[in-house]
Structure 1
């Protein structure tokens, strides 16, 4: 496997050796194109999405990633636990088990959990279903060598994507399971606003299994597709990265940007700008 070493003008050996392309940032690229783009750009990690893996074919992509020398920072996503019926819950359980199997075959140590919204108006019941779903999945993930990463989402997504909406809440949920099996994924876009965030990050020590960066634009152009390039918004990314490192996390840092304007730009140009902004702001 090739070894990647990077230098940035004036910085010596750089933290760019930890940068990961979350492939949603170049969504118009196929997974094969994203892998090739990372190799050309000297980006050593890639974060994968299941639908892209399925489009390309799991065995071939696993082999292509191994041959490229890239490392997989995470697979997104499992979760979506709340269900309106027993039958729906069983379908979700089976899909989460498939996600674990896919992560293991791809060499991804972390399966990101987007925990899901309430199937009705009962948000408390939905949160109980999330805990039950994780509890059921933990032994299966452990048997495959995969960690589960609970990713809290911004509260604006509570009604459609996740009832886990703060890092404090994710920490509390993760602590109900062994630290070697269940942790938290800290996404700057989702938690930057949280009161006493640095204290919540300290409470995550030993449980952080992922760190994602982008920026919060003002005004926010779109609820889902409005994430900004690092440095274009209001998030103190370097301060957050330092807090995450002080809590013991030294793993890959994923650049995850949902933004149609960025998707419409040539992928190689996007990767070059990602590296520049990462070095300047992360």
Structure 2
């Protein structure tokens, strides 16, 4: 039984290595934007020669670029890894671009061995980044197949919590069409975060009302804590909106969002409740909200 299982595993491994990576033929697809859903070559580690279009990657494993490498046999892997695939531009094509979804932590894009895009920092001086999507312009004049190599660095301390590499399929195609498509993605993100925007506005108004009433009634400190709580949670909501749509240093943004705004807001809320109870004004009796005071 063990020999049979071992034999089958050997066959599957051989087939995986011998299978050819897909060449994304833009002329055949005849669409302005192509989603890269085929299999691409992948290898952990780091070697500058892996950006060379003449490098033989036929022995590299194949994975799908529409989900992280952590979901495809490389669980908990952190560090450097490379993707390689080829595209066939249509004859007389316009300016091409490659759309890269958000990646943790940093990455570089090479087209036929030439660096065409670099985002985030790399060891030893790398800054741990949470990257938004990016549009990378590819060489305008190109005949024949184009070799694309993408070098990714995934912070090892994140490997247990976040998948490495691509989390959604990249897209390639006409640069103008991709710019418009990326703008639509940003618009969708804006509307998805609209609840956070309204929450930020509401907290700001409550915070402003609380501080105004505290200036009018200096002895009633519960208005001070109420106002500060509103402003801090307003900052927390705005930071969540910003980090969801911009490249940000991950550790610094987490420290600011959850460390400062959320934690400080929680403690000022506790001070507000403590001051209210200490004054003998339980919820629902004896204390008027800032909104009712101003009306």
TM class, shorter-length: under 0.3
Return the TM-score normalized by structure 1: 0.23
